[in-house]
Amino acid sequence: MRRQLIGVFFIAIDFLFSYGGWVVFYWIRRYYLYPDTGYPPSLWEYLWAPSLVGIYWVMLYGLGGSYRDLIRQSVLGELFNRAWLTVLGSLALFFLAFLDDPIPNYKSYRLTLFMYVLLQGGLSWLSFGVMRLGILKLLRRRMFRFPTVIVGNGPQAFSLWQDLVSHGQALGYDVIGYVIPQKTDENRLLGKAKCLGSVEDLEQILIRRGAHHVVIATEPSDEATLQSVLARVNGLAVEIHLVPALRDVLGGGVRVGSPLEIPWVTVGPVPPSPWYEGVKRGIDIVLATVALILLAPVMAIIAILVRLSSPGPIIFSQERIGKNGRPFTIYKFRTMYVDAEKEGPALSREGDPRITPIGRWLRKTRLDELPQFWNVLKGDMSLVGPRPERQHYINQIVKQAPEYKQLLKVRPGITSLGMVKYGYASSVEEMIARMRYDLIYLANRSLLLDFKILLYTVLRVLQARGK
């Protein structure tokens, strides 16, 4: 069975339980809650309404993250997640369906809602229990495995190997071998694990072996190995983890959702919940649409000023690299003279003679970026996210800071934590310095943080603190 099919299977189980729950609740309403009100049976109540309700619950649980990482999710965490989703979802159904019931008195409203919450909540937990039993059976039969490679061959790596062999089997981790940090290192055996080669060969090893996880188990001070692994692994569909040092444990950087989980530090952004992604995209569309409409007169005036300032197009377009490394065309009001980069790519700097007089003001107020609301509406960008760069500069950045590729896992933005805390960059070194803030943003993404960044960006625009 393919891993992709397990999600479909679990969705089908939730749908059937929710479908059946709505049919059962129809009879409860007809014969128990309102027995003398002539509550009529209908084909709609028996067939189509339960289908819509089943789809509704599947979508709600999906947005809540119930079908993400099904094999290794926390049992108690998912039970709590389903409980509050059931309460919220039932409240919505109450206003959509139950208010039309022929109730004898208003107390019946509360009883109706309470009974449906109990019924749907109990069925959702029962559905999850069936799913977990199925997962355990599949894991025992080794039908789902996560090939794992350990980087290191010292005491820490050996301890990790023992932990994965003892406890990782229940979570599907399957250690296929280890790699040594450098070819000059001693190639000694790590328990019964197989030496697959050195870090220099890591990319080919991961592709050939189909690995899902890489765990770096070297000394905490060995940042060179981490950099080397990131340079070779970034861009591959694998998860990177670190064996935590004491400072990670004391600093609260180690998170476990259940006693069975392996305590390690995950490198790179943690995938946000589908709720966050969906709401963030919805906010992007709404605010970008409102901005394009309300700021249309302002953009018309800017367009006239740009046209009068110097010969050339009003809108400047350029290829940038977006989410998952896909190129897209970014739009800005032109702030430089035509052929400003005739000698090749060059970043702007303080007092740059290539910038037009009106362009200097636009850059300080950041009004030159208003056309990017169209990029947001198209889905190329978000309101908040790491600033997109050109491939020419990305190639230079990753040579010094391969962790930059982590920023390519999310949709770039008009503004970012890096733009608020650091501002525009006029060199590759400054791009790397700004990148640190964007990596912090990825580790702490939330709608509240996005809102704060937007507020601070508006403040910077009003203060004309761009360059």
What b/e readout covers 397-415, taking b as 16+ CB neighbours within 10 angstroms? bbeebbbbbbbbbbbbbbb
327-333 and 315-321 beta bridge pairing: antiparallel
- Tell me the pLDDT band of 191, cut-offs 50, 70 and 90: low
The superfamily (CATH) of domain 146-267 is: NAD(P)-binding Rossmann-like Domain (3.40.50.720)
Q: Are 148 and 165 in contact (CB under 8 A)?
A: no
Q: What is the pLDDT of residues 7-22, one digit of tens each?
A: 788 888 999 999 988 8
Taking the domains of the chain in order of start, what are their residue ranges? 3-140, 146-267, 274-463
Is residue 425 within 8 Å of residue 434, measured between CB atoms? yes
User: 331 and 316 in contact (C-beta within 8 Å)?
Assistant: yes
- Model confidence at 138: pLDDT above 80: no
Q: What does each C-alpha distance from 388 to 274, 320, 325, 392, 407 come to in angstroms? A: 23, 6, 10, 12, 9
The whole-number average pLDDT for the span 320-329 is 92
What pLDDT, in 10s, does the model give residues 371-383? 999 999 999 999 9
pLDDT value at 275 more than 80: no
d(CA 157, CA 150): 7
Residue 27: which of 2, 46, 53, 48 has the closest Cα? 46
Question: Is pLDDT at 317 greater than 80 in this prediction?
Answer: yes
What pLDDT, on the 0 to 100 scale, is given for residue 241?
A: 82
- DSSP, collapsed to helix, strand or coil, labels residue 150 as strand
Distance separating alpha carbons of residues 61 and 68, to the nearest angstrom: 10
pLDDT confidence bin for 83, thresholds 50/70/90: very high
CA distance 75 to 132: 8
Taking a C-beta distance cutoff of 8 angstroms, is the pair 409, 269 a contact?
yes
Q: How confident is residue 259, by pLDDT bands cut at 50, 70 and 90? A: very low
Q: What is the mean pLDDT of the chain?
A: 81
Q: Are 425 and 431 in contact (CB under 8 A)?
A: yes
Local confidence band at 185 (pLDDT 50, 70, 90 cut-offs): low
Rounded to an integer, what distance in angstroms lies between the CA atom of residue 455 and that of residue 359?
24
